[in-house]
Amino acid sequence: MRPWQTNGRAADPAPWVMLTVVAACLTGCKSDLNQQLLERELRYQEDQIYQLQDELQEKCARLERAAGENASLRRQLGVGDEAAPATPRRSRPGIKSAAPVPPAITIPPAIQIPPTLTPPTLEGVPALPALPTVPSPSPPAGTGGSIALPPASASIDPQARPLDAASGPTTTRRLSLEQTVLGDGGATHIMVNNARTACLDSDADGRSEGLIVVFEPRDADSRLVACGGDVTVAVFDSGAPDANTPLGSWQIPAAEALRTFRRTSRERGMQITLPWPGPAPSGDHVRVAVRMTTPEGTALEADTTIPAR
């Protein structure tokens, strides 16, 4: 009896063959899938290596450019390579670097100088004449035999001049071309500062609330003079029916006007703030007239025209 025959019937071998073929196909597909995953991982790692190599080359190029720019700046500034801080070298672990040995210092030999130099004598040549002795200055009488010197910390004015008893009383020295000190000459005229004199509009509604007047007393050389006097300010509105009638007039005493005097890099002269006594000017411009009466009784006048808004 044959093994593929059962109960008198022959067994069909086709199912067994089909099962064997399917098992072989499944085993081959699984191995192909693992191989594809492995190849994909290898390609991804290779791409990363190429990317890191490109970034390294870019960093090296930027480092070289920075080193070249640094060297160029050092040459422009005149700094040598010895001024650059040296990069410390890393020593191997467990090995201590030896201490640097300082160079030997060579001391030059001492030079013996004779106490006096005597010129040689030559036959037929007369001897050199002796140098005249200059007597030392004697201290003035009443000082006890010593001259008093100023302390080392004392400041000395390079522009100061010695006092001369025959020259009479001295005058105050001028500070600069644009400034004078108090009492060094009187004012001969006044000048209104057009850039600083203006109408005040604090709430920005288009109508001014007052006026700030800045004027400078000056002497004959057009230098600023710190002097005071009674000040009178009159304002004339260009839009008023009568242009000769002032919109407002103010009297400022000399002491109050002198307190407004400034001499700084930004503010110079007298600055007086005046509110309108009534309605604001209706015209586009106003004329400001300033009069200052000096203590000697001289009236100094100046005027200017400024926008009313």
Class of domain 189-307 as given by CATH: mainly beta
Return the pLDDT at 94.
47
More confident residue, 277 or 15: 277
- The residues pairing with 80 across neighbouring beta strands, listed in sequence order, are none
Return the pLDDT at 179.
46
Phi, psi of 273 (to 5 degrees): -100, 125
More confident residue, 270 or 166: 270
216-233: b (≥16 Cβ within 10 Å) or e:
bbbbeeebbbbbbbbbeb
Phi-psi region of 258 (alpha: psi -120 to 50; beta: other; left: phi over 0): alpha
Q: Cα separation of 176 and 179, whole Å?
A: 5
Return the pLDDT at 304.
93
The structure tokens 């130099």 sit at 117
Return the pLDDT at 76.
85
Rg for the chain (alpha carbons), in Å?
52
- Choose among 224, 214, 217: nearest CA to 271: 214
Phi, psi of 287 (to 5 degrees): -105, 125
Of 82-91, 107-116, 118-127, 264-273, the least confident? 82-91
Maximum CA pair distance of the chain? 169
Q: Cα separation of 125 and 130, whole Å?
A: 15
Q: Assign 137 to helix, strand or coil.
A: coil
- The residues pairing with 179 across neighbouring beta strands, listed in sequence order, are 224
